[in-house]
Amino acid sequence: MSLWSRLGNAFRGDQLNREIDEELEAHIAEAIAQGRDLVEARRALGSTLRHREGSRDVKLVTWLESLRSDAVFGLRQLKKTKVTSLAAILSLALAIGACTSAFRLIDAILLRPLPVANPQQLFDLSRQGIGPEGKPQTFDGWAYPDFQLMRAAVRDQAELFAVSYAEPVDLTYKSDEEIERAYLQYVSGWMFPTLGLRPALGRVFTENDDVKPGGHPYAVLSHDYWTHRFGQNPKVIGQTFRMGNEIYEIAGVVEAPFTGTEPGMMVDIFIPTMMHPGVTRKDWTWHRTLAVVKAGAAFEPMRQKLEATSYAFEAERAKGFHGMRQEDIDHFLDQRLLLEPAATGVSDLQSATRRPLAVLGVLVGLVLLIACANAANLMTAQASARAREMAVRVSIGGGRWRLVQLVLVQSAWLALLAAAVGSLFAWWSGPFVVSMINPPDNPARLVLPADWRVLGFGLAVALGVTLLFGLAPALRASAVNPVSALKGGEDPHSKRRLMHALIAVQVAFCFLVLFVAGLFVTTFQRLSHQPTGFSADRLLVVEAVAKSPQPVEFWEQVAEHLRNVRGVETVALTDSPLLGGGSWNNFISVNGGPPNGVLSYMRAVSPVWLEAMKIQLIDGRDFRPGDTHPGAALVNETFAKTYFDGVDPVGKTFDLNMDEGLRLRYEIVALVGDVRYKSLREPILPQFYVPFRSIDKEGQLGKRGAGILLVRTSGLNPRALAAVLRQEVPRARPEFRVSRIRTQMEINQSHTVRERLLATLALFFAIVALLLAGVGLYGVLHYSVLQRRREIGIRIAVGAQAGGVARLVTMDVFAMVLMGAVAGIGLGMLSVRYVESLFYQVRATDLQMLALPSLAILAGALLAALRPVIQAVRIDPASMLRAE
């Protein structure tokens, strides 16, 4: 009989009974046909029921039957102790839910393969070397001409394709008034066939759609975008939209669920690489290069061929470099090409969150273990309350394994109920956490499916948890010695020892979680209180665009118009906000000498920029309307230190080294305070600011297609002015539109997103861990008071003081807490070195960092001990001893 029919038997009990009855009836009918008496035949056959039992016992796999009865019994047992069971289920649910939720996040960002035909063959090309600041760096951006050479070089071993860094863009469908935001990625036309991606509607690109620079104004939409923007309207094919100066026609929709190659970024629109403005530029590294390596291709020779090709390209280009030190050129050329697996795609989110997510995974795992310890203690306490029942079971012939099963089944109930509640929690918390990582204006968009991977993980956790907290109590219960148990209890200390050990483990883990959480919270606080050198209060960053580049004068007119709007204090122009991500740098030289190898960072700013940003003017004067770029410059203190040895440089000049040996001269008109340029963590960069008003080579005023209006408002809520500004900008000059409005505060906060996420989640886990450990401690103390109430009663009767009783009850447990805390400190010191890179201005050895979790645990332990101690002290010896 196969396993299946056995399983079938267990759940087909009724049918089996009927068959056995029928066979026995047939027997009797036969007997009567042979001339026997009905009554005699029945008697000879014996009781039908007995037969049935006899036969069924053989037929049914006994453990399946027993499993069912254990399940029913286990549930009844849990219902009997509603409150404790509920506490155990909820704490496990919280932990399992957090675990599943963390897994969903980690899976979506780091583990899930891209939904393409051949993810295992996908590789990402990058270069590793020494960066311009002399630090090692790896970068996976490439220039298109270089990419073309490499693609041709390894044609037989791999197919290379280019994908730009996905980015939000502004586009319009019908009216130019309604600007929409969409996520766009430039991709090689042959990416679709190479990855086995088919159209859901219309067509997708092929090699032929990506041939001539600027010659293929077509777009392919993602299925997701087609669904939420167009409601899956099939008439979308042939519709056009405008982006910049180009009109694009929608050619098709790619099949779901492909949304680009960057986890964390769901691409809406794919455009052929040939439409990118940098496609012919040798000095613009704007795209990633991915490779689908053919099966059986020799890997290392291919890598070397790619490296040699790229080297030859850059070496040729480097011949045109001027004003760079030979050392820097050597660094630039001396790079190793890396081919790294990209089955899960490649994105900045991945590299930025790999470590934080690993840390969160560990924290959440520790919380799960703490919850398991709680459940194990609950099961142990229950099992000991049932010692008599177990003993009876053993003495009437219940097998040991049968008892193990009995307790395990009950654990499984706990775990399953907890997993069910936990999955609800995970359902809700996954997207919630994602929304927390996100800066509001540039959300990371994640595919977070709840599919068999998540389900499988949840089940595996539930199973693991059952074994983890159920096995020890189960084995212990089964090892019951009936004689001593029935005589009134075996050694009561043995059970408490297990529970105490678990308390120590809990405290150690809890300490670790608290400790790490403390470090993260401090990091976040220090980083977000980092002085930036400017004021972000009441400051709006208004991004404006024009259909075609407009003269700087017109931009100045728009700024002037906005200054007269009610509620506006002042307005300045710039090319890019501080800390806004844009980076513009160059080597400079002083007194006609060679550059010193330190990059200087730039911004183009209008007069009153200093005032609008509230940046300190140390010496000299602000820009005047007549100042131009090139010509005048403001420099910061770090600039003065780096290039002028800290001497006040106002009135002095420096040169900006351009390609082809061209030098632009600037006179320093002011020394200003240091500000943060692109990062809160790095040291302050040497910076100088040039006038927004630029002059081109022919001496004409420059033109700009996009720029930033910095608006300092007088109202406390700068956002309140956003709608007005959107209207006023085109009113000032009809060529201009507002494409996006952010507050400077949002921009600043986007630099601490990771730290905030870590701090918030770690704090949450710390609170949960403390709560769970507290509940566990309370449970154990409560149990031990119950168990020792006779002893305590006697002690009180012979004159023990309250203090003595309290000490008696808590001493063992507090010794365990102490041991756990010491172990926790050790664990913390050991593990912290793996996460040190995530900290900022905080050291694991700071006394405060160790004191805080210790105090929290001590307070938690005291609180947990309060009630059991009161109970113990209040034991009335007279009634106690009478009851015995």
Partner 1 sequence: MAKADSLQGSMDLLVLKILSRRPGLHGYAIMSAIQDISGEVLRVEEGSLYPALHRMEEAGWIRAEWITKETGRRARLYEVTAAGKKQLGMEESRWQAVTLAVNRVLREA
Does residue number 57 form part of the binding site for partner 1 (CB under 8 A)?
yes
31 contributes a contact to partner 1 by CB under 8 A: yes
Distance separating alpha carbons of residues 256 and 555, to the nearest angstrom: 43
| Residue from 7, 11, 37, 54 in contact with partner 1 (CB under 8 A) | 54
Return the bridge partners of 253, or none. Answer: 201, 221
Which of these segments, 23-31, 372-380, 500-508, 754-762, binds partner 1 (CB under 8 A)? 23-31
Complex with partner 1: residue 24 or 450, whichever CB lies closer: 24
537 binds partner 1 (CB under 8 A): no
β-strands 167-171, 199-202 pairing: unpaired
Give least dist CB 47 to partner 1, A. Answer: 8
Q: Which is nearer to partner 1, 51 or 726 (CB)?
A: 51
Tell me the C-alpha distance between 527 and 521, whole Å.
10
Q: Does residue number 51 form part of the binding site for partner 1 (CB under 8 A)?
A: yes
Residue nearer to partner 1 on the CB measure, 5 or 801: 5
Judged by beta carbon, residue 45 or residue 822, the one nearer partner 1 is: 45
CB atoms within 10 A of CB 760: 16
Q: Nearest distance from residue 384's CB to partner 1, in Å?
A: 35
Q: Which stretch binds partner 1 (CB under 8 A): 45-53, 186-194, 248-256, 281-289?
A: 45-53
Site membership for partner 1, residue 64 (CB under 8 A):
no
CA 288/CA 150 separation, integer angstroms: 13
Count Cα atoms within 13 angstroms, Cβ side, for 90.
11
Give dist(CA 480, CA 387) in Å, integer.
7
CB 318 within 8 A of CB 335: no
Report if residue 152 touches partner 1, rule: CB under 8 A.
no
* 22 binds partner 1, rule: CB under 8 A: yes
Q: Give the three-state DSSP class for 533.
A: coil
491 binds partner 1 (CB under 8 A): no
The region that residue 533 occupies, defined by phi over 0 for left and psi between -120 and 50 for alpha, beta otherwise, is left
Q: Which residue has the tokens 């087909």?
A: 12
Nearer to partner 1, 5 or 240 (CB): 5
Q: Could you tell me the smallest distance in angstroms from the CB atom of residue 56 to partner 1?
A: 8
Q: What distance in Å separates the CA atoms of residue 496 and residue 482, rounded to the nearest whole number?
A: 19
The residue (of 49 and 859) whose beta carbon lies closer to partner 1 is 49
- Binding to partner 1 by residue 249, rule CB under 8 A? no
Rounded CA-CA distance 184/203 in Å is: 18
Work out how close the CB of 73 gets to partner 1 at its nearest, in angstroms, rounded to a whole number: 24
Residue 55 as a binder of partner 1 (CB under 8 A): the answer is yes
* Of 48 and 84, CB closest to partner 1: 48
Provide the minimum distance between the beta carbon of 396 and partner 1 in the complex, in angstroms, as a whole number.
17
Q: How far is the CB of 400 from partner 1 (least distance, A)?
A: 22
- Which range in 20-28, 97-105, 214-222, 714-722 contacts partner 1 by CB under 8 A? 20-28
Taking contact as CB under 8 A, which single stretch among the options 40-48, 317-325, 754-762, 834-842 is the one that binds partner 1? 40-48
Is 27 near partner 1 (CB under 8 A)? Answer: yes
Using CB under 8 A as the binding rule, whether residue 20 contacts partner 1 is answered as yes
Among 536, 540, 550, 573, smallest CA distance to 680 is for 536
Helices (H), 62-132: 62-80, 82-106
Rounded (10°) angle between helices 753-787 and 802-832: 150
Q: Residue 48 or 749: which CB sits closer to partner 1?
A: 48
> Is residue 30 involved in binding partner 1 (CB under 8 A)?
yes
- Cβ proximity to partner 1: between 29 and 883 the closer is 29
Looking at the DSSP assignment, which residues form a beta bridge with residue 271? 186
Which conformational region is residue 538 in: left (phi greater than 0), alpha (psi within -120 to 50 degrees), or beta?
left
Partner residues linked to 604 by β-bridges: 690
H/E stretch holding 691 reads: strand 687-691
Nearer to partner 1, 27 or 181 (CB): 27
- Which of 193, 235, 234 is CA-nearest to residue 210? 193
Task: Please identify, among the stretches 46-54, 530-538, 601-609, 798-806, the one whose residues bind partner 1 according to the rule CB under 8 A.
Answer: 46-54
| Helices 82-106 and 348-385, packing angle to 10 deg | 160
Which one-letter DSSP state was computed for residue 683?
Answer: P
Measured from the CB atom, is 56 or 652 closer to partner 1?
56
- Binding partner 1 (rule: CB under 8 A), the pick from 7, 15, 23, 240 is 23
Total residues at interface with partner 1 (CB under 8 A):
21
d(CA 574, CA 12): 78
Residue 12 binds partner 1 (CB under 8 A):
no
Report yes or no: 219 and 171 within 8 Å, Cβ to Cβ: no
CB of 38 to partner 1, least distance (A): 14
Evaluate whether 241 touches 173 at the Cβ level (below 8 Å).
yes
Examine residue 59 and tell whether it contacts partner 1 (CB under 8 A): yes
The binder of partner 1 chosen from 38, 44, 149, 658 (CB under 8 A):
44
Q: How far is the CB of 404 from partner 1 (least distance, A)?
A: 24
The DSSP line for 372-401 is HHHHHHHHHHHHHHTHHHHHHHHHTT--HH
46 forms part of the interface with partner 1 (CB under 8 A): yes
Nearer to partner 1, 26 or 436 (CB): 26
Instruction: Please report whether residue 3 would count as binding partner 1 according to CB under 8 A.
Output: no
Backbone dihedral region for residue 323 (phi beyond 0: left; psi -120 to 50: alpha; all else: beta): left
DSSP 716: S
Classified as helix, coil or strand, 825 is helix
Which parts of 452-497 are beta strand (E)?
none
3-state SS, residue 429: helix
Q: Which stretch binds partner 1 (CB under 8 A): 30-38, 387-395, 630-638, 691-699?
A: 30-38
Pick the piece of the chain touching partner 1 (CB under 8 A) from 49-57, 317-325, 421-429, 795-803.
Answer: 49-57
Pick the closest to residue 262 from 142, 163, 384 (CA basis): 163
Binding status of residue 641 toward partner 1 by CB under 8 A: no
Q: Give the range of 54-62, 332-340, 397-405, 554-562 binding partner 1 by CB under 8 A.
A: 54-62
Beta bridge partners of 602: 688
The minimum distance between CB 29 and partner 1, in angstroms, equals 6
Decide whether 17 or 530 has the Cβ nearer to partner 1: 17
Determine how β-strand 653-657 pairs with β-strand 663-672.
Answer: antiparallel
Are residues 628 and 691 in contact, defined by beta-carbon separation less than 8 angstroms? Answer: yes
Taking the complex as a whole, the smallest distance from the CB of residue 116 to partner 1 amounts, in Å, to: 50
- Burial call 551-583: b when 16+ CB within 10 Å, e when fewer: ebebbbebbebbeebeebebbbbbbbbbbbeee
Stretch of 44-52, 118-126, 551-559, 767-775 lying at the interface with partner 1 (CB under 8 A):
44-52
Query: How far is 54 from 862, CA to CA, in rounded Å?
Result: 59
Largest CA distance in the chain: 133
Does residue 175 interact with partner 1 by CB under 8 A? Answer: no
Contact 675, 613 (CB under 8 A): yes
Span of 57-65, 460-468, 524-532, 601-609 interacting with partner 1 by CB under 8 A: 57-65
Q: Work out how close the CB of 467 gets to partner 1 at its nearest, in angstroms, rounded to a whole number.
A: 31
Q: How far is the CB of 53 from partner 1 (least distance, A)?
A: 9
7, 49, 50, 682: residue in contact with partner 1 (rule CB under 8 A):
50
Give yes or no for residue 2 binding partner 1 (CB under 8 A).
no
Q: Which stretch binds partner 1 (CB under 8 A): 28-36, 353-361, 394-402, 444-452?
A: 28-36
Residues that bind partner 1 (CB under 8 A): 1, 20, 22-24, 26-27, 29-31, 34, 44-46, 50-51, 54-55, 57-59
